[in-house]
Amino acid sequence: MQVTVSPLDVLFFRNGKPFDADDSPIGETIDMPYPSTFYGAFRSRVLLDNSERYFEFLEGKAGEITEVIGSPDFKGSLKINFFSLIKEDKVFKDILLPLPQDMVVKKGDKSSGLLHLRFVSKKSWIKMNNSLSHLLINPVSKQVEWPGPAYIKIKDLEYYLNNELEDAEVKVFDRMNDIFDKEYRTGIEIDNVTKLAKEKKLYRREVLRFKNNRDKSYSFFLELTGDKGLLSESGLLKLGGEQKAAEYRKVKDVSNKIELYASTKKRILKSKKFKIYLSTPTVFKRGWLPEWINPDDFTGKLPASGIRVKLLTAAVGKHKIVSGWDMAKKTDKNKRGKAKTGFRVVPEGSLYYFQILDKKFDIEELINELHGQSISDLKSKEGFGISFIGGIK
């Protein structure tokens, strides 16, 4: 089931910093929600449509409802298989995915066009704090920088993964200049007992608003499976820290497939090298490193196929923290819910370059395990770690 989610108001997705009117009166928002925000919203939607079975849900005994959305203690069959932004105008619908971390621009000049970092073997005289055998280096004589966080069209990403995206020819959508506006709201704390405003309790909050107008509009795009028909084709959701309203709607005419060309498959078979691109944030138990990679020599086996690989290098962005608020838990009489455990996540757009160590391997088995699948060690059902593979020049 493919759906778009369109906010009906501004959005507020709290980061991990403290926020209260006494000590930390400025509430900061992250610039892009995590897929887990939508996972929780759709679980709540299913539960709302079956609210008469709420107490059975709490006990994990709500039949098919429990099978789909689980209980407060475990997840059901509902799964996010794809998460992105979508841009719509009068003619086209374009899925937008995060800009890969190995695409850069000349420092201070984003209009100069994108360049690819060069993938090269590490020279013996280069000393690093790890034993990775390859590097990604500057392709030009001038200084470069990653122009993100930004997005590109899904077709451009397909060209990129198939090594057919030429330098400087791709349209880049900057997250905060092209897609979102950041606004500010001022409020005052209200006493829970008297319902009156407290003195000297002003606070300020950042919020996000899509830059939608008559000619174009942005929204979120997701592909969901495992709902077993319990999720209606359209409806309202509550999103973010203040549970702002959003409308979701089933869509049918959007293609979110990323094809690997025959030439790319031949390149991987011949060179035994490939890269993994992360389209969503990813939770690895070892921080930036997948659990199935040995941190001593960077070798390991893919979990499903058992294909042996070695990590050659990586382009990993600055880590983020994902947490949340568990409404089903109670801490005391006056406060509903409790904070979820926080996890460090590898940001979307990050890349891992691998060499296949097996003499023979099934290319289709490799593709089926990694292309469009989650490689996250944790929270895979919530849409984390959705990856796509590509060739290496």
Shared-domain flag, residues 69 and 42: yes
133: in domain: no
136: in domain: no
| Residue 138: C-alpha distances to residues 29, 31, 144, 243 (Å) | 33, 28, 7, 44
The strand pairing partners of 85, in sequence order, are 96, 220
- Domain end, chosen from 238, 254, 270, is at 254
360: in domain: yes
**Which pLDDT does position 96 carry in this prediction?**
96
Q: Compute the chain's Rg from CA coordinates.
A: 22
**Which pLDDT does position 348 carry in this prediction?**
95
Shared-domain flag, residues 188 and 298: no
Residue 277, domain CATH: 2.60.40.4350
Shared-domain flag, residues 197 and 81: yes
> What DSSP string describes 83-136?
EEEEEEESS-EEEEEEPPTTEEEETT-GGG--EEPEEEEPPTT---SS---EEE
Total tally of structural domains belonging to the chain: 2
DSSP, res 139: S
**Which pLDDT does position 170 carry in this prediction?**
84
What is the rounded distance in angstroms from the CA atom of residue 330 to the CA atom of residue 334?
Answer: 9
Shared-domain flag, residues 186 and 268: no
Sorted by sequence, the CB contacts under 8 Å of residue 148 that are 6+ apart come out as: 98, 99, 101, 175, 317, 349
Parallel, antiparallel or unpaired: strands 115-116 and 103-106: antiparallel
Tell the residue number behind the tokens 């942005």, with chain if given. 218
Shared-domain flag, residues 209 and 298: no
3-state secondary structure (DSSP) of residue 92: coil
224: in domain: yes
Q: Are 281 and 42 in contact (CB under 8 A)?
A: no
Q: Are 350 and 137 in contact (CB under 8 A)?
A: no
Residue 215, domain CATH: 3.30.70
12: in domain: yes
Shared-domain flag, residues 74 and 175: yes
Shared-domain flag, residues 45 and 84: yes
Shared-domain flag, residues 246 and 271: no
Which residues in the chain land under pLDDT 70?
A: 15-27, 167-168, 200, 324-325, 327-337
Shared-domain flag, residues 374 and 350: yes
Q: Are 79 and 225 in contact (CB under 8 A)?
A: yes
Shared-domain flag, residues 235 and 269: no
Q: Are 349 and 317 in contact (CB under 8 A)?
A: yes
What is the rounded distance in angstroms from the CA atom of residue 256 to the CA atom of residue 21?
Answer: 43
222: in domain: yes
pLDDT in tens, 305-353: 999 999 999 999 988 888 766 766 655 555 566 777 778 899 999 999 9
Read off φ and ψ for residue 310, nearest 5 degrees: -130, 130
Sorted by sequence, the CB contacts under 8 Å of residue 141 that are 6+ apart come out as: none
**Which pLDDT does position 21 carry in this prediction?**
47
- Structural domain boundaries, residue 31: 1-98+170-254
Q: Are 114 and 106 in contact (CB under 8 A)?
A: no
Shared-domain flag, residues 223 and 329: no
**Which pLDDT does position 136 carry in this prediction?**
92
**Which pLDDT does position 27 carry in this prediction?**
67
> Strand runs (DSSP E) across 8-51, as ranges?
26-27
What is the rounded distance in angstroms from the CA atom of residue 318 to the CA atom of residue 57?
Answer: 38
What is the rounded distance in angstroms from the CA atom of residue 187 to the CA atom of residue 326?
Answer: 24
- Domain end, chosen from 254, 283, 311, is at 254
pLDDT in tens, 107-138: 888 777 888 999 999 887 777 777 898 999 98
- Domain end, chosen from 216, 235, 254, is at 254
Using CB atoms within 10 Å of the CB of residue 233, give its burial: 0 to 12 exposed, 13 to 18 middle, 19+ buried: exposed
145: in domain: no
Q: Are 361 and 304 in contact (CB under 8 A)?
A: no
Shared-domain flag, residues 221 and 317: no
19: in domain: yes
Q: Are 327 and 339 in contact (CB under 8 A)?
A: no
3-state secondary structure (DSSP) of residue 43: helix
